[in-house]
Amino acid sequence: MLSFEDARTRLLAACAVLERERVPLAEAVGRVLAEDLRAEHPLPPYDHSAMDGYAVRTADFASEPPYELPVTGESRAGGAFSQHLPGTACRIFTGAPLPRGADAVIIQEDVVRAGERVVLSTRPRANENVRRAGEDLAAGAVALSAGTRLGPFQLGLAAALDRDAVLVRRRPRVVVLPTGSELRLPGSPGAAGTIPESNGVVIRALAAAAGASATLHTALPDERATVAERLSRALEHCDVLVTVGGASVGDHDVVRPALEASGVALEFWKVAIQPGKPFVFGRRDDTLVLGLPGNPVSAQVTFALFGMPALRALQGDAAPLPAMLRVPLAEPLRRKPGRLGILRARLVEGRAHLAVNQASGATTSLAANDLLVFAPADRAELAAGTEVSAVRLSDL
């Protein structure tokens, strides 16, 4: 068996970054930049006022306060640039160009207006309430690097750079194929002994959250020929094929032989984790194949920790792995050593409270908790207060 770290390293090393495409900015949320975005012009592009008030020249305030100045002119956002007259104050509004020659803005709350004159009781400082050209970014500076995933705030910066489209990596095409003769569509009638298929909807949602375009197929029966035929067809139309169930070595686990019959070269098929040991990774040409276990927690956790980083790596994401944190256990933990334990927990006041039911079939343990805790493979007991690595489900 491979360790968790070795298995994920091998999987990510196999992820060749997908092609580039240009998309409108309005459609780029969640996409990964395939180019550095540079500021073609300074940002902001010109000196402007950060407040409503009066633009002045600080050289006019050599004497002691109070100061009285005539008001000449006005500068408003979107207005023309103007020349400041020495010895005067120019009415100015937030975002308006700073008149040439002025070097400070006195906020209107600090000014007494008397007709066409203003009175100031304190000496202004150079650059006070002024935003200078290039203060955020100099012309030519990298604003967003290739490999950045574009969220709402990154889109706002791209728009401020005057971009209406960006070059991004293509979305990975994912096909999710659940297997199991006992499975039926949720909400559909079924014979005794059948259960609703619940893994597929989770895997598709996680794939979409990682930026992929995912298609979920109906569950296949445990028939090798049927599974092999559907796998062969699916492999022609995706970048990543995800099978769910049938990846172990039981009499009715047909996925591994069906994959091999479809021309998939298996890289590894066991990982030293609990749950999720029978996780399969293989390739056919440029298509990656992830074979997930069938138990709900096993399937969903392995895809979250292996599949989602792989999908991000295919898009050139500079940070494909979820952010990790260190948290203390709220209670002692006893477990059989030998494999990395991936335990469901809830983070309460900075401490990890482990779920009572840690069974690999307990769907509730993921839905009711917000944390995955990693218990070291070589430790049978961990005392309360022991710090362990963890990842928030929201950060996957």
Euclidean distance between CA atoms 379 and 336, whole angstroms: 8
pLDDT value of position 51: 97
Residues of the chain with pLDDT under 50: none
Euclidean distance between CA atoms 64 and 358, whole angstroms: 75
pLDDT value of position 395: 97
Structural domains of the chain ordered from first start: 4-18+170-314 (3.40.980.10), 34-43+136-169 (no CATH), 48-131 (2.170.190.11), 325-395 (2.40.340.10)
pLDDT value of position 252: 55
Contact 384, 331 (CB under 8 A): yes
Euclidean distance between CA atoms 254 and 227, whole angstroms: 8
What is the residue-averaged pLDDT of the chain? Answer: 96
Helix (H, G, I), strand (E, B) or coil at 226: helix
Paired tokens of 383: 């005392």
Q: What is the pTM of this model?
A: 0.91
pLDDT value of position 221: 92
Tens digit of pLDDT for each residue in 311-354?
A: 999 999 999 999 999 999 999 999 999 999 999 999 999 999 99
pLDDT value of position 250: 57
pLDDT value of position 251: 55
Tens digit of pLDDT for each residue in 191-201?
A: 888 999 999 99
